[in-house]
Copies of this chain bind each other. A is one copy, B any other.
Amino acid sequence: MKVKVSRKEHFNAAHRLFNPNWTEEQNEKVFGKCNNPNYHGHNYELIVSLVGEPDPETGYVYDLKVLSDIIKENVLIKLDHKNLNLDTEYFLSLIPTAENIALVIWRILRQKIDPKFELKITLYETERNFVEYPAS
């Protein structure tokens, strides 16, 4: 009787997509406008989902107020109103694409959420571009 419960949060950040091992031409060709050396930014919408059985005492799979606090204290504090390339430890050698940001958030939260709950991250970079990890 497994239920998936989800909490939506958001953060705003600047980033730049480029591969330091490539020439400027390669970066321009692959990343185009996203390679602007002075950065651009997004309002990221983040959905964190947990799968588990409702606790018969509370009717909750997971208290979403608690989940919201865990996200704020472990993810938003690191990413919100930041330059992802310069202000965080996560993207020193990792390109801050939506895919990689989702993977980073999954790894942070996986350590904070009891392993009995499956964990899934959905990240909207824009209303039209979004990613999910794991995929299924």
Contacts and interface: CB of A to CB of B under 8 A. Distances in A.
Contacts of A83: 14, 36, 38-40
Interface range, A side: 35 or more
A118 B118 CA distance: 22
B30 A15 contact: no
Nearest to A61: B99
A108 interface: no
The residue among A30, A40, A103 with the most chain B CB atoms within 10 A of its own CB is: A40
B30 A14 contact: no
Given A59-B97, A97-B59, A127 B6 contact: no
- What 8 pairs across the A-B complex have the smallest Cβ distances? A41-B41, A59-B95, A38-B83, A59-B97, A33-B81, A14-B14, A4-B135, A2-B135
Interface of A: 1-10, 12-15, 17, 19, 30-34, 36, 38-43, 51, 54, 57-61, 63-65, 68, 80-83, 86-87, 94-100, 102-103, 118, 126-136
